[in-house]
Every structure is written in structure tokens, then in C-alpha cells.
């Protein structure tokens, strides 16, 4: 049954400020406060200085996270080069360690994501400076019991770290005009957002409240893996992909306060109502009457029991109500995609029909074919992929993708309302809480079709501040000009159309974009270091 038409929008908190003044110096001191070490990658050893836990705001709300580890090749203090770079030309690699929108501590040279090679050690050996910031996240609670890491804390912290690097460009080896951010999953979303939201005035009051360095927050280039971004439209995208996939193995849940495991299966739920006058355009006074859902959704099926079923290892079968919600979301996706006016490389408009077909659909499928072709080129056996469709006259030529078979093969891992769940239970609901409310909805649809008692949604301004799509092409922001985005062909943490839209939007703005779906890759980051750093070397050249 559809919810009542009134949406309760919770106003944004005032920018969070430190309770006690710390007054950290924001001046980098190259000759004090470091330890030394050396890393070896591919038989190349680089000695470095490590400046650990350097505060990047004067008055942190959470000092454990609002600091950064900085690694600098020793050669740069002796006017000697490393690889292609000198102390004046070295790019600054800016990886974050956020996963699951949880807090992430300042990064080290240890490999993460189950990898054997560390991206940071690899970068250092190529002569990059490493500036690895921590950032607050959704689970943090201050000593007064208030939540201190809800949106937009993560992006504010990362921008504060960027401002620190710009402010110290003259005294620190490396070139702050060459900051390249990196991250995976929620960290990939933040990497995109750091790249998109440079210098936005939206962040200003938040940065000021923390005593961030008063400097630019734009960066040069973005690397992002499996970004879980565009959260306020991701429920629709998910059902565009997974509608019709009605059962799945209940994976591990990204429970509140629990660190996500690598390659785990958190879940979520949401929607956007096709009949709404405006999608996700929350306003404090809006009274919106939801349209009818479908016949099935008003039948006697029990309401979605949230994502609690994700907690089990059992097979999950969608209820009729969930299937109807899925259909509604999928249908609504067309108007969102069409509103973007995206174009392919030939200038063709990428559109969707409400049944999910259209030029955007064909374009999306072409990336799966490209992925399969690249895998085959690398000698990988792709013959078992039942979703690849071949030319009858030329069996070596892939011509199409069976969409349902593809999505079944990848497998749904979240119930409809995958991010803004109707029961307000996901990690993303938790990310959009306030200092006093742990979880909130962040789309009108989920707020309208909510199953939690007294449903409320987050302020749209805060939701926008977490979305790279909102800042791409926004005249109030300085966008990075180089974008490398990877999303595993076998990953179902979000619809791959989510990173695809970011890539296409950036390309349509004239930016340099490298987007691909690596074959057989699931939810993972930092797996193709050589190609990734070759790309960075190329774009800074």
C-alpha cells in the first residue's frame, strides 16, 4: 500500500564545529616530524619520508580521522628525480580509504582490497607524492552522543585535505596542480565527488567551521573503482538493471556500524515514483500525492520487511510488492536518464523508454560487449557467458547482450529500493542521518512508500552535496578534467549505468574520460596498477 502523500523533510544541521579548539598548525614542515623507510616495487627501491597523521584542519571534530599520511621520496629533498618526476613536477596521489560510507583512517603503504600490491607503494616507486587522508563516516558518535560523521562530513574532510595541499604547495615537494584522487566503492564515489565539487561554495561554511586551510579545493584528475554514487537515483538504476531478477542469495548485510568486507554483499532498497511532479526534489513544505503503483503492489502481499533478509545466507525471493516497487522504479528511470540529455561519442542522444529500452540501453550493452571482446583478446575463455549474442553468419562477432540473462548471471544482491530502503535500514540511510537522527530517507519515493514509522527524509541540499553528477558541469564548481572510471563487469553493488552516466556526462563536458567494465571483475579496487599509473603519467604529461 502506498504511503500518505506528505513528506517530512528534516532540515540540515548547521555545519558541525569542533567542541574544543585545537588550533593545529596547517603549515607543512618538511624537516620535522617524519620517519623514514623504503619500498620496493618491480625491483625498484625508493627511500621516503613518512609524515604520519598530519592534521589537515585547525579544529577537528574527530582528530582520529581528520588527518593525513604524507609520503615523499627522499630524493626530492636532494633535488634528485624519481622515475619521470622531480620535486616540482611530481603528481600527488590522493587515495581515500572509505568503504561503506564508514569512517576511513589515513591510508598507509599497505595493500588493501585483498590485493597483494599496494597502489600507494606502487605510486611512490613511480615518483608520486602520496597524500592519504582519513575522513569521517556515518557511524561516528561524539562524546556528547551526537553523530559527527553524517553527510556531508566525508566530502568536507577530503576537500579540507585538498585545501591543505594547495596551501602548502610551495613548501611541500610535488605539484598541487596535479592532485589525482583515488578510491573504491563508497571511496570511489568520494573520489568522483572530490573531482567534481572543487571550490564549490556549498562546502565553504563546513570547511570554515573546521578551520580548514583557506585555499582551492579543485583537483587535476580522478581515478575511481566501482563507485557507489548518485545515491538519490541509484534505486531506479538498480531496478532498470535487475528488474525481473526476482531471487538472489541473501548476502552479508552492510549493517549499521559494521565495516563492509571486501566483496561482501550489502543491500538496500528505494524508488522514485513516476507520477511525482519532480523526482527527488524534496522541499520542507511539499505535499505530494503519490500516484498509483501497479495492480500487484496493492495486493495483500506483506510489505517489504526491509533488508533484514540480507542477513541470511538463504535464497531471497522478492514479494509481489517488491516486484511492483521494482517495476515502478525501473519505469521512473527513463525520465531521469532523459533529463540528462547525454550523448554518445557520435553525438547521438542517449534516451530510455519506460520499458527500459532505447539508445541508452544499447549504449550500455555495448560496454559489456567491449568488455567481452577485450577479455577474449587477452585469451580469456568467454564461451560460458550465456548472455552474449553472436552473429548467426559470423559466430565470432558479438552483436548483442541478453539483458535479463546478463543481470541474472551477475546476480541481484539488493532488494528493490536498493539504497534508500523503504524501511530506512541501509548504510546509505545511515549516511544521510543528522547529528541527532541516525537514519533518514533521501528520496521522495522511499519517503512516500516507507514502511518505517514516522518516515522522514534528508534535506535535498545535503543529498546534492554527496552527488558527483550534481557538480559535473555545475558553474559553481571546478571539475577535474581527467577521469578514469572502472566498474567490474561482474559487480552488482550498483547498476553499472551509474558509473556510466558519470563517464558520459564528463565526456559530454569535453573532459578526458577512460571508462571500462573489466571482464569478470567483482566489487574491487586498485587491481590494474600498471594501466592506472600509465594513464596518470599520460594525462599529466
Give the interface with ligand DHB as residue ranges (CB under 6 A): 99-101, 185-186, 228, 254, 260, 266, 268, 427, 493
Whole-angstrom Cα distance, residue 502 to residue 374?
Answer: 22
Q: Which residues of 471-481 are buried (b: 16+ CB within 10 A; e: fewer)?
A: bbeeeebbbbb
CB of 304 to ligand DHB, least distance (A): 17
Q: Where are the alpha helices (DSSP H) in 433-515?
A: 444-448, 460-465, 468-471, 497-508
For residue 219, which of 162, 172, 160, 164 has the smallest C-alpha distance? 162
Nearest-5° angle of CA 29, CA 109, CA 528?
A: 125
First CA to last CA across the chain, in angstroms?
Answer: 58
Q: Record the cell numbers describing residue 402, joined without a space.
A: 541478453
Which helix (H) or strand (E) covers residue 239, if one does? helix 231-242
Going by C-beta distance under 8 Å and a sequence separation of 6 or more, which residues neighbour residue 80? Answer: none
CB closer to ligand DHB out of 85 and 101:
101
CB closer to ligand DHB out of 41 and 249:
249
Whole-angstrom Cα distance, residue 41 to residue 38?
Answer: 10
The residue number whose beta carbon is nearest to ligand DHB equals 185
CB closer to ligand DHB out of 210 and 413:
413
CB of 41 to ligand DHB, least distance (A): 26
For residue 179, which of 152, 146, 216, 229 has the smallest C-alpha distance? 216
CB closer to ligand DHB out of 178 and 268:
268
CB closer to ligand DHB out of 69 and 429:
429
CB of 34 to ligand DHB, least distance (A): 31
The answer to whether the beta carbons of residues 468 and 439 sit under 8 Å apart is: no
CB closer to ligand DHB out of 52 and 308:
308
Dihedral of CA 320/326/332/338: which sign? negative
CB of 504 to ligand DHB, least distance (A): 22
CB of 493 to ligand DHB, least distance (A): 4
CB of 456 to ligand DHB, least distance (A): 21
Strands (E), 242-312: 247-249
CB closer to ligand DHB out of 99 and 358:
99
The answer to whether the beta carbons of residues 266 and 280 sit under 8 Å apart is: no
CB of 200 to ligand DHB, least distance (A): 23
CB closer to ligand DHB out of 372 and 418:
418
Q: Record the cell numbers describing residue 58, joined without a space.
A: 585547525
CB of 223 to ligand DHB, least distance (A): 16
- Report the half-sphere exposure of 454 (CA within 13 A, side-chain side): 3
CB of 399 to ligand DHB, least distance (A): 32
CB closer to ligand DHB out of 121 and 234:
234
Amino acid at each position: 500500500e502506498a504511503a500518505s502523500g506528505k513528506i517530512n523533510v528534516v532540515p540540515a544541521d548547521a555545519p558541525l564545529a569542533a567542541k574544543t579548539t585545537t588550533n593545529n598548525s596547517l603549515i607543512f614542515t618538511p624537516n620535522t616530524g617524519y620517519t623514514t623507510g623504503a619500498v620496493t616495487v618491480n625491483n625498484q627501491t625508493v627511500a621516503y619520508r613518512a609524515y604520519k597523521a598530519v592534521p589537515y584542519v585547525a579544529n577537528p571534530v574527530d582528530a582520529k580521522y581528520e588527518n593525513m599520511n604524507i609520503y615523499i621520496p627522499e630524493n626530492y629533498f636532494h633535488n634528485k628525480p624519481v622515475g619521470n618526476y622531480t620535486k616540482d613536477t611530481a603528481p600527488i596521489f590522493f587515495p581515500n580509504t572509505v568503504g561503506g560510507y564508514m569512517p576511513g583512517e589515513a591510508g598507509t603503504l599497505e595493500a588493501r582490497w585483498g590485493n597483494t600490491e599496494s597502489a600507494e607503494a606502487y605510486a611512490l616507486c613511480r615518483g608520486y607524492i602520496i597524500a592519504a587522508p582519513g575522513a569521517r563516516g556515518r557511524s561516528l558518535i561524539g562524546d556528547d552522543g551526537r553523530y559527527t560523521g553524517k553527510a556531508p562530513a566525508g566530502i568536507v574532510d577530503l576537500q579540507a585535505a585538498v585545501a591543505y595541499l594547495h596551501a602548502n604547495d610551495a613548501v611541500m615537494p610535488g605539484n598541487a596542480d596535479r592532485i589525482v584522487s583515488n578510491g573504491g566503492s563508497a571511496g570511489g564515489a568520494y573520489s568522483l565527488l572530490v573531482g567534481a565539487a572543487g571550490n564549490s561554495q556549498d562546502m565553504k561554511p563546513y570547511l570554515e567551521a573546521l578551520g580548514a586551510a583557506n585555499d582551492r579545493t579543485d583537483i587535476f584528475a580522478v581515478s575511481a573503482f566501482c563507485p557507489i554514487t548518485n545515491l538519490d537515483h541509484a534505486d531506479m538504476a538498480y531496478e532498470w538493471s535487475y528488474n525481473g531478477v526476482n531471487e538472489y542469495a541473501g548476502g552479508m548485510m552492510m549493517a549499521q556500524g559494521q565495516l563492509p568486507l571486501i566483496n561482501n554483499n550489502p543491500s538496500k532498497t528505494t524508488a522514485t515514483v513516476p507520477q511525482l511532479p519532480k523526482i527527488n526534489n524534496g522541499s520542507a513544505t511539499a505535499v505530494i500525492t503519490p500516484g498509483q503503483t501497479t495492480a500487484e503492489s496493492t495486493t495483500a502481499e506483506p510489505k517489504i520487511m526491509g533488508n533484514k533478509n540480507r542477513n541470511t545466507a538463504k535464497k531471497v525471493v522478492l514479494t509481489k510488492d517488491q516486484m511492483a516497487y521494482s517495476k515502478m522504479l525501473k519505469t521512473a528511470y527513463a525520465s531521469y536518464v532523459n533529463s540528462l540529455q547525454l550523448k554518445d561519442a557520435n553525438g547521438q542522444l542517449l534516451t530510455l523508454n519506460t520499458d527500459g529500452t532505447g539508445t541508452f540501453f544499447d549504449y550500455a550493452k555495448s560496454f559489456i560487449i567491449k568488455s567481452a571482446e577485450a577479455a577474449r583478446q587477452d585469451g580469456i575463455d568467454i564461451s560460458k557467458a550465456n548472455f552474449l549474442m553472436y552473429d548467426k553468419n559470423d559466430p565470432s562477432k558479438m552483436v548483442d547482450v541478453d539483458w535479463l540473462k546478463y543481470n541474472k548471471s551477475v546476480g541481484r544482491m539488493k532488494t528493490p529500493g536498493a539504497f534508500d530502503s523503504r524501511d530506512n535500514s541501509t548504510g546509505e540511510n545511515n549516511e544521510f542521518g543528522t547529528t541527532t537522527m541516525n537514519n533518514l530517507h533521501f528520496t521522495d519515493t522511499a519517503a512516500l512508500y516507507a514502511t518505517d514509522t514516522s518516515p522522514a527524509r534528508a534535506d535535498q541540499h545535503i543529498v546534492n552535496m554527496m552527488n558527483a553528477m550534481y557538480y559535473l558541469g555545475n558553474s559553481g564548481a571546478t571539475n577535474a578534467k581527467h577521469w578514469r572510471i572502472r566498474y567490474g563487469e561482474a559487480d552488482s553493488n550498483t547498476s553499472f549505468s551509474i558509473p556510466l552516466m558519470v563517464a558520459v556526462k564528463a565526456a559530454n563536458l569535453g573532459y578526458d574520460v577512460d571508462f571500462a567494465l573489466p571482464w569478470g571483475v567483482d566489487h574491487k579496487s586498485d587491481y590494474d596498477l600498471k594501466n592506472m599509473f600509465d594513464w596518470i603519467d599520460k594525462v599529466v604529461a
